[in-house]
């Protein structure tokens, strides 16, 4: 070896011996330590002079750890393995470098975890002349692992608590929804009957009824929006992402909002129908956002003001093609401070003092819905000049094939002939007020229907079997047997299986509606009922023959929100 190379080699050997970050221990074939570097001295607390030629490697390790290691190797190789040093070098002797964890013992008898790698050292003839052990202190790694384990346990606990809290909140909202809807059912139901009584109410009575209905529907709207917002925040609101004709949705909104604007002397301008725009959105939720923004633009405008709706193509992040919808009004505008709180739930920005109705939920809902559909929403406003609310959604191509939409068959509003009832309707409901309300609706609007009543599921099933009604109205929360259980028993009986059963319940959470429809209810109507919706549903069932076995004329239910909600 050239002199320079030899010097270099000796320098490297000395550098290894001086290294304090790793422990290098070399033994002879009997396990007696021959090399004990500075790293081993620092790690184990022994000076090399006390160890070299005097101690074996095994004496520096925890005996119990060595026994466990030997037993593990015995299982791995399916052969008896000697304990002590022989166990540690077993793999090395068979030409396999071994890396494992072991507990080391310092000079002061304190123990610490270490990661050890053992390899055999051989002479030029291949004979084992010793073993080299390279070790690192694993204390810091173990502490990190313990900390991470503790953090994971805490995270799991927090996650579990959050899930329980979320479930409790959902159960609470479901319960409160039911409790609030039940009295509203009677208030709005009887008010609707009084509004259409024969003879018609006096002007003074009509004004009072209008106030009752106005307040009742407003309270129902607030309940629905709170439930919707809760579903969004808990991540349980299902949002469709499909090609939606923005042009068609705007056309539908125009038909609904122009009369409202006319009543307030507000002129609405919409973009040309001839320019087709398709966006990736949930059609129902897109319409909900547009109606909310349009309603606000009308409500908070000035007399003889204008509302201008505009559509334009734009570009989002990553050059994503988008469509921007802008709704500009000529109202009083918003200050910069008001804009910072604009999308907060229940914050009406002082508008509650103006006499204009509102829940303070609409903009918060709109923001969340637009974001769930992959878009963004914003506002630009100048005090005294009005505001422009806008949102952008990803543009998409028109569906490749769009089936021609056929007009729904017109519902025949024929005069009910006098004489014996033509149909039989069974109503299963335990609340006497609800029974009386439906009884009065049938009596005043559908005298051709004979109404049977049962206050629990068991009696309802018995009446259904004995009287073969043309349809059944079923409450869900019944004493002794739920409406869903009663429906299942009706379906199992060939006599009652063909009878269409309509749910009429104050359980109005989306999961309740989904569960009811999956159980097999023909329709799921929620309380408080809208008299017209109930009558139309009965008309479909009784007069057009729409039944579970003859669904030809079935009109799909909007699962996002029932028609009667």
Structural domain contains residue 229: yes
Asked whether residue 187 falls in the same domain as residue 269, the answer is no
C-beta atoms surrounding 471 within 10 Å: 23
Q: Are 204 and 294 contained in the same domain? A: no
Identify whether the C-beta of residue 511 lies closer than 8 Å to the C-beta of residue 533: no
pLDDT at position 1 over 80: no
Give the Cα separation of 77 and 98 in Å (integer): 13
Is residue 415 domain-resident? Answer: no
481 inside domain: yes
Residue with tokens 């809208």: 530
For residue 229, the model assigns a pLDDT of: 67
- pLDDT value of residue 422: 84
92 lies in some domain: yes
In whole angstroms, give the CA distance from residue 309 to residue 326: 6
Backbone φ and ψ of 227, nearest 5°: -65, -40
Question: What is d(CA 404, CA 532) in angstroms, rounded to the nearest whole number?
Answer: 28
- CATH code of the domain in which 318 resides: 3.30.565.10
- Residues of the chain with pLDDT > 70: what percent? 76
Return the pLDDT at 403: 39
Which tens digit of pLDDT belongs to each residue from 319-375?
A: 889 999 999 999 988 888 888 888 876 665 555 555 555 556 788 888 989 999 999
**Any domain includes 404:** no
Kindly state whether residues 123 and 198 are assigned to the same domain: no
Distance from C-alpha of 41 to C-alpha of 64, rounded to nearest angstrom: 23
> Taking the model in full, what pTM does it have?
0.45
What pLDDT, on a 0 to 100 scale, did the predictor assign at position 279?
95
Domain end (from 110, 137, 164) = 137
- Can you give the CATH number for the domain in which 7 is found? 3.30.450.20
pLDDT, mean of residues 540-547: 71
pLDDT at position 91: 52
- pLDDT at residue 252, as a whole number: 86
The confidence score (pLDDT) of residue 538 equals 92
Which CATH number fits the domain that encloses residue 175? 1.10.287.130
CA angle 148, 154, 160 (to 5 degrees): 135
Least confident span in 79-83, 121-125, 218-222, 255-259: 79-83
Is the distance from CB of 387 to CB of 379 less than 8 angstroms? yes
What is the pLDDT averaged over residues 542-552?
A: 56
Mark whether 480 and 377 lie in a shared domain.
no
User: What was the pLDDT predicted at 378?
Assistant: 93
127 and 55 assigned to the same domain: yes
pLDDT in tens, 273-313: 878 899 999 888 898 899 889 999 998 898 899 999 999 99
Lowest average pLDDT, out of 114-118, 287-291, 519-523, goes to: 114-118
Tens-place pLDDT, residues 426-476: 999 988 888 888 988 898 888 899 999 999 999 999 999 999 999 999 999
How many domains does the chain divide into?
4
Spell out where 75-110 has E strands: 98-105
Question: Residue 380 has what pLDDT?
Answer: 93
- At 339 the pLDDT is 86
Average pLDDT along the chain: 79
Confirm whether 313 is domain-assigned.
yes
- Please say whether the beta carbons of 229 and 364 come within 8 A: yes
121 and 164 in a common domain:
no
Top pLDDT among 42 and 65 is at 42
Both 280 and 361 in one domain: the answer is yes
Check whether residue 452 and residue 534 sit in a common domain: yes
Whole domain around residue 493: which residue ranges? Answer: 423-543
Residues 439 and 509 grouped into a single domain: yes
Report whether 457 contacts 473 (CB < 8 A): no
Is the pLDDT reported for residue 404 higher than 70?
Answer: no
pLDDT at 506 over 60: yes
Condensed to tens digits (0 to 9), the pLDDT of residues 221-250 reads: 767 766 766 667 666 677 888 899 999 999
Kindly report the CATH number assigned to the domain that includes residue 526: 3.40.50.2300
Q: In Å, how far are 234, 256, 514, 523, 524 from 558, measured between CA atoms?
A: 21, 19, 11, 10, 10
- Residue 309 shares a structural domain with residue 200: no
Q: Does the residue 557 lie in any domain? A: no
Instruction: Looking at the structure, tell me whether residues 274 and 335 fall in a common domain.
Output: yes
Range scoring the smallest mean pLDDT among 25-34, 103-112, 396-405, 543-552: 543-552
Q: What pLDDT shows up at residue 555?
A: 36
Same domain for 111 and 180, yes or no, is no
Kindly state whether residue 177 falls inside one of the protein's structural domains.
Answer: yes
Q: Give the β-pairing of 501-505 and 386-394.
A: unpaired
Say if residue 552's pLDDT is above 50.
no
HEC letters along 260-278: HHHHCCCEEECCCCCCCCE
Residue ending a domain, among 215, 233, 251, is 233
User: Two tokens at 80?
Assistant: 């008896």
Backbone angles phi, psi at 110, to 5 degrees: -75, 145
């Amino acid at each position: 070896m050239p002199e320079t190379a030899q010097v270099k080699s000796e320098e490297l050997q000395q550098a290894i011996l001086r290294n304090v970050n790793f422990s290098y221990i070399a033994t002879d074939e009997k396990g007696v330590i021959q090399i004990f570097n500075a790293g081993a001295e620092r790690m184990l607390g022994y000076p090399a002079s006390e160890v070299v030629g005097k101690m074996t490697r095994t004496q520096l390790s925890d005996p119990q750890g060595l026994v466990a290691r030997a037993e593990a190797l015995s299982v791995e190789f399916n052969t008896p393995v000697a304990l002590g040093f022989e166990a540690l070098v077993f793999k090395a002797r068979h030409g396999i470098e071994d890396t494992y964890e072991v507990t080391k013992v310092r000079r002061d008898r304190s123990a610490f975890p270490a990661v050890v790698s053992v390899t055999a050292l051989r002479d030029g003839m291949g004979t084992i002349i010793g073993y080299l052990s390279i070790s690192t202190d694993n204390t810091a790694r173990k502490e990190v692992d313990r900390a991470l384990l503790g953090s994971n346990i805490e995270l799991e606990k927090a996650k579990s608590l959050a899930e329980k809290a979320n479930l409790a909140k959902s159960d609470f909202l479901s319960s409160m929804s039911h409790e609030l809807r039940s009295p509203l059912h009677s208030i709005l139901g009887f008010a609707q009957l009084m509004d259409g009584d024969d003879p018609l109410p006096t002007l003074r009575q009509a004004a009072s009824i209008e106030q009752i209905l106005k307040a009742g529907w407003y309270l129902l709207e607030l309940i629905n929006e709170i439930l919707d917002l809760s579903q969004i925040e808990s991540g349980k609101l299902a949002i469709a992402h499909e090609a939606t004709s923005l042009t068609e949705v705007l056309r539908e909104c125009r038909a609904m909002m122009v009369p409202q604007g006319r009543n307030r002397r507000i002129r609405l301008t919409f973009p040309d129908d001839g320019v087709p725009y398709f966006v990736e959105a949930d059609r129902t939720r897109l319409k909900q956002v547009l109606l909310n923004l349009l309603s606000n633009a009308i409500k908070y405008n000035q007399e003889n003001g204008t509302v201008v709706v505009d559509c334009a193509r734009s570009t989002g992040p990553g050059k994503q093609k988008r469509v921007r919808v802008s709704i500009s009004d000529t109202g009083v505008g918003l200050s910069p401070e008001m804009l910072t709180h604009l999308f907060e739930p229940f914050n009406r920005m002082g508008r509650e003092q103006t006499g204009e109705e509102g829940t303070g939920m609409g903009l918060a809902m709109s923001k969340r819905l637009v974001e769930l559909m992959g878009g963004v929403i914003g506002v630009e406003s100048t005090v005294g000049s009005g505001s422009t609310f806008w949102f952008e959604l990803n543009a998409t191509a028109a569906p490749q094939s769009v089936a021609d939409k056929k007009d729904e068959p017109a519902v025949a509003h024929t005069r009910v002939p006098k004489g014996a009832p033509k149909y039989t309707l069974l109503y299963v409901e335990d609340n006497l007020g609800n029974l009386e309300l439906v009884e009065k609706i049938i009596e005043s609007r559908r005298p051709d229907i004979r109404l049977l009543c049962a206050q629990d599921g068991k009696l309802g099933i018995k009446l259904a079997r004995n009287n073969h009604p043309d349809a059944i109205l079923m409450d869900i929360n019944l004493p002794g047997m739920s409406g869903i259980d009663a429906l299942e028993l009706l379906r199992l009986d060939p006599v009652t299986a063909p009878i269409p059963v309509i749910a009429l319940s104050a359980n109005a959470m989306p999961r309740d509606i989904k569960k009811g429809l999956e159980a097999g209810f023909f329709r799921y109507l929620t309380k408080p009922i809208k008299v017209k919706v109930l009558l139309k549903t009965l008309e479909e069932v009784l007069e057009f023959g729409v039944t579970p076995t003859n669904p030809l004329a079935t009109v799909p239910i909007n699962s996002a929100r029932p028609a009667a909600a």
